[in-house]
Chains A and B, each alone.
Chain A
Amino acid sequence: QKEVEQNSGPLSVPEGAIASLNCTYSDRGSQSFFWYRQYSGKSPELIMFIYSNGDKEDGRFTAQLNKASQYVSLLIRDSQPSDSATYLCAVRANQGAQKLVFGQGTRLTINP
């Protein structure tokens, strides 16, 4: 089982709809959760991070964390074609080397 799992997609969403990206993790001791966006040929850029159970909103983006279910998600409201990218979920454990562990990414396409 991978430490951080994402559906690789591609996920196709019509413009203006809500895109929902999901991520599960195996280490129950994980404390910090991050979402990165990576455009084709570019480096990942940080979108949001979340530490506490519940929702965290930033503009059109909402991160949701459920530690009991070991599940973190990213919602993108009013999806735009410019949101088309690969979205990487990353998780940091509270123990050990505390490296950031990345999922394989979900490729999202917003259709005009």
Chain B
Amino acid sequence: EADIYQTPRYLVIGTGKKITLECSQTMGHDKMYWYQQDPGMELHLIHYSYGVNSTEKGDLSSESTVSRIRTEHFPLTLESARPSHTSQYLCASSTRGQLETQYFGPGTRLLVL
């Protein structure tokens, strides 16, 4: 069982607000990821990190930003939320190496009004 946590689990917020979605893992995994997924739709990778002070943009363009100051923590920030940001945001982590497997957190459901 993976120990990866996300807060908040649900968030309803108004347009223009700044929000930070938290993700933390206690497994010491080097790699962490943020995915965006609309209901019934594909997972889209929006950011990833292979270690402290390393962040990269994913395959889907996103207005969000991330930081990786500590191994266990990978927050995602939206400076100015818009209704188009309404979605589910999933954080994941994995070890390095060929045998690595990726584990997901429970997700944050975001609704921007």
Please give the residue numbers on chain A whose beta carbons come within 8 Å of chain B beta carbons, in ascending order: 31-32, 34, 41-46, 49, 51, 88, 90, 94, 97, 99-100, 102-105, 107
Please give the residue numbers on chain B whose beta carbons come within 8 Å of chain A beta carbons, in ascending order: 39-43, 45, 48, 56, 58, 90, 94, 98-107
Partner of A88, one of B43, B103, B105: B43
Task: Indicate the member of B42, B99, B107 with the most A CB atoms within 10 Å.
Answer: B42
Cβ contacts under 8 Å, A102 to chain B: 42-43
* Pair count A-B, CB < 8 A: 40
Cβ contacts under 8 Å, A107 to chain B: 40
Task: Indicate the member of A46, A49, A100, A103 with the most B CB atoms within 10 Å.
Answer: A100
What distance in Å separates the Cβ of B30 from its nearest Cβ neighbour in chain A?
Answer: 12
What distance in Å separates the Cβ of A91 from its nearest Cβ neighbour in chain B?
Answer: 12
